[in-house]
Structure 1
Amino acid sequence: MTELPQQESSDETVDELLEEVLREFAELGPDTEPLRVELVTSEILGEWWEAGDDLAAELIEFASESTEPERLAAPLAALRTLATTEEQREAAAIALEKLGLPDPDWSGLLNQVTVGECWRTSDVYGDEASVLCVFGEGENAHGLLVSISYAVIGGWTDEAVIVESPAEVVDEMRAQAAEGGELVTCEQISPARAHQLLADAFVGTELQEEPEVTDDYVRFRALALARLRALPAPEPQAEPELLSAEDQARIIDEFFAASPDLADTEAARVCALRLIEFGIDQDPRRPLRVGPDKLSSFVDFVDDGEIELTDEQDEVLDEVLPAWARWGVSRDGLPEEAVEPLLEAVEDRLYERALETDTNLDAYLDGVEDLEEQDVAALLLRRQFAVPSVYTEIAGEEVELDPTDPEQRRLLVIGEHPEFQDSLAEDDLDEETFIVVAAHTTVVDQLWDDDPAEVWQAVRRMREKGLEREEIMTELARTLEAQLRAGEGDGLEFDLDDYLSALAELG
């Protein structure tokens, strides 16, 4: 969601905003259609919500001090029904009662709607759904149409809109299902079922700090939440599917038994376990469900570091993920028609991921000419071990750096060690920390240049023993630290022969 500048906190600014609201309500005459009042109120509440301001509370408090209370009757009457929290709705009702003024003619009609048909379309994988609830009848009918994604956090909505011709939308939903063959379903559902689906989706959105939602969501959010309150009580939710450690081990065994072309290695098994854990965390009611969006989101989580994989595990992900998709389709009994689109989506996401990595290959190949293909691969393996990414976070901001520049390469090293950053920024490194930083950056430089070559040889021995990159880099830095001595001025130096002897003992 686009972040808006925060409103200034001065009383004058708040008063100006409230005055603008009072002017908008003053334009609503006593014979204004209730839906028009609801739309105006919802748009105002949406603007406040997007800006992170709780001006509904400010307006309610303002009512008790206003010298023109008659101007407050309309907005308070609207908030009494449409404010998004029960506390604010009750506070608005109390404030309006204290004013002792008659309610606007339309106030008793707000959110007083009859509930009509409810419809739901969904893709066969369960990744996405759209829910339409019809309110009112005939020419006065309108609908609430909500899009729901189930790729993460158990489902959330990024778009909600009030539609004027719900019958036309139902026709479109049916046509979409007809065109989608076995990949799209369209069904009429009970209002109680619709309430449960929509309530869950709105909670999923509201739980996010900065949800990426459409302008329509912002505009219609308050009215949509009011319409949910007009629906019958939601039907009971399905309980999360609990998977014990034994269940997860059994599932992994079944997966490999059904995937004979996939090598049954420890790294591949960890990838399968991470997929199960991702499902438990992000899709708790159907943790083993497979879908294009869900599996793409898994890759996103890996790339963002929210799911940790070792280098070896990351390498086999390209094989595990398509196999997991095939097995999931078979396990869930999805139609044969669903297999190819799912595999294509998975392959496309993995290809995009490879391209994202490859866009930085020029930096890793700087200064390299006329190498055989196997030599290029070996060089990339070494340099990408030394500098896994050209992106890092410095002082809370993500930056892209050039690893061929020694100074920028040093920043990439520092980005891996946030514990050093405050001291470096303040130029307040103690001697011990200075040596640690110097050792880490020097080891990375040595690996980058393959000089001395014994450093990379030590890395390869330690990798063969199963050590992770972080453990290996710590060992290398510790080995170099033990050799460092004060040199001329503020510099450090070491005896190369002693250092090479110490490296030979590693691994």
Structure 2
Amino acid sequence: MNRRHRRLPPDIPPPDDIFAEMLLASRELLALRSPLDAELMVSDMIGAWWGRRLHGGDVEQILGEGLVDYAAKAGTPAALTLLIAMAYLGTSRQAAKAEGAALALMESGVARPRWADRVGAVKPMGCYVSRDAYGDQDTVVCTFSYRVPDGQGGEREEDHHALVVVVDYNMRGMARDAWVSSQVDKLLEQASAEARDNPMLLFEELEPQQARALLESAMKATLESVGRKGPPPVSESYGTYHAFARARIKALPPGRKRPAPLHSEAPYSRERRAMLAAEFLASDAAEHLSDPSAASRCADHIIDYGCEQDFGRPLRVSPTKCETFMLDWLPRKVMLSPAEQEAVPYVLSAWARFASKRTALPEEGLRATLDAIWEATARFAEAYRDPSSFGLDRELVERLLPDGDLSALARRAFAFPLLQGRHGDVVLDELDPADDADRRTLLEIDHIDERHRPDYQEHLAWHEEIAKRLWEGDPPEMWEAAQRLLDLGHDRHDVLHVLIEIAERIGDDPDELAAALDDIADIPDAPPL
């Protein structure tokens, strides 16, 4: 069952008529015979707001708990069926409220559906994982059956079904897709046959404890993607099955660590990274590289990317991973010299040959990876923008980026706009914005017109706090909020004062600070600080 209900606007809490529409749709629950159909229908309904964000509150609290309260007040049989399902499928707060409301309605004599006692009464049957040889993704299959009394003091199993979740390691290990199938035997047989016929696929049984740990981690990573720029990068159906998947995962036994992704190794220390780079540069795969210095620095970037962005897997190569490295991560994160820019595709191709032997990647996988690198080469030249090509002095850029993190350039330039020239006896070109003492001098010069303030020292200290946070990108919501306000045409100093006001009001709670910054849509009409 895959019903579609009215989707909710992202920023405006729905009026009661939206809740009424959902309650009207819940009448269909009364006619169902299968608890599986009921759970899937309600999962689809409450998936209407999954991935949405609301200014001023949590969407699950405002909409999810609001729906529970609305159903509790309605007190109809349809409302009771909805509450029974939400007691199993909802968040912990929604489930507790729904269970209490459902018990109250049943005690008052409201009729409940025939399937009510069987909601969530499932038994895990088996768990499996299908992995591609690249290590790009895992497709996890968890099978369940409902436990039904057999009338003789025992139980029988009914409604065998499978939850399928795709975990994408090129997207921070998040759950990217999910669905449910009732054709379990056919699903498992097909996955097993594909693995037998295709050397690029692996299919194996997974301990239920491991499956739970893996899926909990993946769904957490997906939830953390909500609120970043743009919609969450998941399939259109993910929201439909999210609540169902969350509930089924809790039916699996806990107690194991998440299984390591394919090609994972022991953690790479700095010394081990350096040894790996040396092994590569001394290998046959790297013998044709003509610029050893550029090759060495490029190899360091490849290894760092694999260790820090790919679950500690520098030796893993795939078409998608290499394209992401060239077209997304490098242009955002690393300041390359012209020689390094030219060397990137050659070094990455040599690395693919070197690494594929270490991971036993099939030859067809290596060929596809090399093809992807060369197809991305022309786009890399377009995607990578050397800061000096924008007219920025390279020495200035290096002062702002001592760590080489290109993604920090804009926010650090915003925090420290005065870095060149002279101010009295002070030579700005000699001040280091990464040094605490020099940073304070730069901020004093930037705020020289505010020295008349009676609270100048305290106010300057807050500017230092904001500048430090912008320099480090902590929290990332601070720079995102500043950009929104700048895009609306607000003055830089007014934007800084708003950030100070929020940081001063919220205090040290990082979650509350991030939420408050997220809620900034404009500067309110108020006297300036």
The TM-score range, normalised by the shorter chain, is 0.5 to 0.7
**Equivalent residue number for residue 400 of structure 1:** none
**Equivalent residue number for residue 487 of structure 2:** none
Structure 1 residue 77 corresponds to structure 2 residue 102: no
> Which whole-Å CA distance do the structure 1 matches of 2:141 and 2:247 have between them?
15
Cα offsets for 1:65-100 (capped at 9, x unmatched): x264655322221111001x2232222223333443
Structure 1 residue 60 corresponds to structure 2 residue 68: yes
Cα offsets for 1:271-310 (capped at 9, x unmatched): 2222222222222243432222222221233355134433
> Which whole-Å CA distance do the structure 2 matches of 1:140 and 1:238 have between them?
29
**Equivalent residue number for residue 186 of structure 1:** 203
Tell me, yes or no, if the aligned pair for 1:77 and 1:92 is still in contact at 8 Å. yes
> Which whole-Å CA distance do the structure 2 matches of 1:325 and 1:94 have between them?
58
Superposed CA RMSD in Å reads 3.5
Distance 1:420 1:299, change over 3 A: closer
**Equivalent residue number for residue 176 of structure 1:** 194
Structure 1 residue 309 corresponds to structure 2 residue 336: yes
Superposition deviation, residue 386 in structure 1: 5.3
> Which whole-Å CA distance do the structure 1 matches of 2:52 and 2:177 have between them?
18
Distance 1:173 1:31, change over 3 A: closer
Superposition deviation, residue 160 in structure 1: 0.4
> Which whole-Å CA distance do the structure 2 matches of 1:4 and 1:269 have between them?
52
Matches for 1:277-426 after TM superposition, within 5 Å:
277-302=304-329, 304-354=331-381, 356=382, 385=389
Matches for 1:192-207 after TM superposition, within 5 Å:
192-207=209-224
Structure 1 residue 243 corresponds to structure 2 residue 268: yes
Tell me, yes or no, if the aligned pair for 2:48 and 2:239 is still in contact at 8 Å. yes
Cα offsets for 1:404-455 (capped at 9, x unmatched): xxxxxxxxxxxx9789999xxxxxxxxx99xxxxxxxxxxxxxxxxxxxxxx
> Which whole-Å CA distance do the structure 1 matches of 2:196 and 2:328 have between them?
34
Matches for 1:410-449 after TM superposition, within 5 Å:
none
**Equivalent residue number for residue 451 of structure 1:** none
Tell me, yes or no, if the aligned pair for 1:241 and 1:287 is still in contact at 8 Å. no
Tell me the number of residue pairs that the alignment of Structure 1 and Structure 2 aligns.
369
> Which whole-Å CA distance do the structure 1 matches of 2:240 and 2:18 have between them?
17
Tell me, yes or no, if the aligned pair for 2:143 and 2:161 is still in contact at 8 Å. yes
The worse-fitting range, judged by mean Cα deviation, of 34-43 and 193-202 is 193-202
**Equivalent residue number for residue 289 of structure 2:** 262
> Which whole-Å CA distance do the structure 2 matches of 1:313 and 1:213 have between them?
34
Matches for 1:9-24 after TM superposition, within 5 Å:
9=13, 13-24=14-25
Amino acid at match of 1:140: D
Amino acid at match of 2:245: A
Structure 1 residue 32 corresponds to structure 2 residue 41: no
Matches for 1:140-179 after TM superposition, within 5 Å:
140-153=159-172, 155-179=173-197
Tell me, yes or no, if the aligned pair for 2:212 and 2:252 is still in contact at 8 Å. yes
Secondary structure, in 3 states, of the residue corresponding to 2:332? coil
Structure 1 residue 95 corresponds to structure 2 residue 98: no
Tell me, yes or no, if the aligned pair for 1:115 and 1:134 is still in contact at 8 Å. yes
Distance 1:24 1:314, change over 3 A: same
Tell me, yes or no, if the aligned pair for 2:177 and 2:235 is still in contact at 8 Å. yes
> Which whole-Å CA distance do the structure 2 matches of 1:25 and 1:417 have between them?
50
Amino acid at match of 1:174: S
> Which whole-Å CA distance do the structure 2 matches of 1:81 and 1:26 have between them?
18
Tell me, yes or no, if the aligned pair for 1:148 and 1:156 is still in contact at 8 Å. yes
Amino acid at match of 2:81: A
> Which whole-Å CA distance do the structure 2 matches of 1:33 and 1:257 have between them?
64
Matches for 1:98-137 after TM superposition, within 5 Å:
98-99=104-105, 100-101=107-108, 103-136=112-145
Cα offsets for 1:112-162 (capped at 9, x unmatched): 222223222211121122122222288832211222221241x12221011
Tell me, yes or no, if the aligned pair for 1:149 and 1:157 is still in contact at 8 Å. yes
> Which whole-Å CA distance do the structure 1 matches of 2:259 and 2:128 have between them?
19
> Which whole-Å CA distance do the structure 1 matches of 2:204 and 2:267 have between them?
29
Secondary structure, in 3 states, of the residue corresponding to 1:27? helix
Cα offsets for 1:43-70 (capped at 9, x unmatched): 1111111433331111233356x26465
Tell me, yes or no, if the aligned pair for 2:47 and 2:242 is still in contact at 8 Å. yes
Amino acid at match of 1:320: V
> Which whole-Å CA distance do the structure 2 matches of 1:92 and 1:302 have between them?
45
Residue of 216, 220, 232 corresponding to 2:237: 216
> Which whole-Å CA distance do the structure 2 matches of 1:81 and 1:21 have between them?
18
Structure 1 residue 41 corresponds to structure 2 residue 42: yes
> Which whole-Å CA distance do the structure 2 matches of 1:419 and 1:120 have between them?
44
Secondary structure, in 3 states, of the residue corresponding to 1:120? strand
Unaligned runs of 5+ in 1: 361-380, 389-415, 423-431, 434-507
> Which whole-Å CA distance do the structure 1 matches of 2:412 and 2:313 have between them?
39
Amino acid at match of 1:188: E
> Which whole-Å CA distance do the structure 1 matches of 2:10 and 2:361 have between them?
48
> Which whole-Å CA distance do the structure 1 matches of 2:117 and 2:379 have between them?
55
Secondary structure, in 3 states, of the residue corresponding to 1:140? strand
Amino acid at match of 2:69: E
Unaligned runs of 5+ in 2: 1-6, 54-58, 147-156, 393-408, 416-421, 424-529
Secondary structure, in 3 states, of the residue corresponding to 1:143? strand
Distance 1:306 1:211, change over 3 A: farther
